Amino acid sequence: MRYIQAKQILSKDLNINIYRGCTHGCIYCDSRSSCYQIDDFENVMVKENALDLLGQELAKKRSKGIITSGSMSDPYVHIEKDLQYTRKMLEIILEYGFGINILTKSALILRDLDLYRKINAKNRAIVNLTITTFDDKLCSILEPHVSKTSERFEVLKTFSQAGITTGIWLGPILPFINDTPENIGRIVDAAHEAGVSYILVFDFGLTLRTGNREYFYAQLDRHFPGLKYDYQRLYGNQFEVPSLNRTKLWEVFLERCQKYGIITDFQTIWDLRKSRPQIQEQLSLF
Ligand code: SF4
């Protein structure tokens, strides 16, 4: 772990990343791409002055929007357990009356349930978990150092039962690895059982670029010998790496979500951020 100083902590659209780098080890991680210039990726950088900056920046805002966290690094990386910067971030967000929309893969988020409840009572809390595979064994290969899929569904269930809106970021879906209709169908079934309001899918595939491609291929060599050559033959150096099964996967996904009333439409998901919790409950009835 190393400390750095930030000049500003919130982006224009209220996005915050307290940490840079990550210790969860996902084999497909886009944040490893060279364009982000994060050297020694697993030696996480902590923005030491993040909490002071957050208080100062929120004090100047006129409207109480929703803060988003989890786009570049997981807010619940391992050091968060002791450091508690994310927890303190939530305390500040609560103090200033803002909302939170957070994305993680870690069950450590359960520690902060009390704060999410309080934020939700005042403004809006939305908890998102990334899910890529229904299979815990495969999960331990794809995302080796973070909570397994079954634990993530327990997290979703706990938050849903606490009256907090929950969502799933489904993906990435890796060609020849987790791109089966069975995987997608079982994830949606479990989402329904966990009381999830929406599932966000950008497409059924992944993205690869310099930095994350090399890491991903090295992990394929380790866990799926020979598969790298299929990727190279089919996709070359493409940024977008779609599953060959994507049409079928969309079909299964949309049909199953419709059956359960799980929201998949981007605009409706986006609008949830602006709505009060009781309005969301009405939407989930559609
Ligand atoms: S949790 Fe997110 S940031 Fe961390 S390694 Fe996995 S994909 Fe990358």
- Digit-coded pLDDT (tens) for 156-178: 999 999 999 999 999 999 999 99
Amino acid sitting at position 250: W
Q: So what's the pLDDT on residue 18? A: 97
Q: Which of 96, 16, 92, 8 is nearest to 49 (CA)?
A: 8
State which H helix or E strand residue 170 sits in: strand 165-170
User: Ligand 1, residues 18, 20, 22, 173: which to mutate, most atoms within 8 A of Cβ?
Assistant: 22
- CA 140 / ligand 1 centre spacing (Å): 13
- CA 27 / ligand 1 centre spacing (Å): 9
CB of residue 168 inside a 6 A radius of ligand 1: no
Q: So what's the pLDDT on residue 181? A: 98
**Residue ranges in the chain whose pLDDT is less than 50:** 278-286
Are the C-beta atoms of residues 50 and 56 closer than 8 Å to each other?
no
Amino acid sitting at position 63: S
> What does the block give as tokens for 49?
């002055």
Are the C-beta atoms of residues 4 and 45 closer than 8 Å to each other?
yes
Please provide the size of the chain in residues: 286
Q: What is the pLDDT of residues 10-34, one digit of tens each?
A: 999 999 999 999 999 999 999 999 9
CA-closest residue to ligand 1 atom 7: 29
Q: So what's the pLDDT on residue 272? A: 83
Q: Would you kindly state where each structural domain of the chain is located, as residue ranges?
A: 1-93
Q: What is the pTM of this model?
A: 0.94
Report whether the peptide linkage leading into residue 181 is cis, meaning its omega lies within 30 degrees of zero. no
CB of residue 263 inside a 6 A radius of ligand 1: no
3-class DSSP state of 205: strand
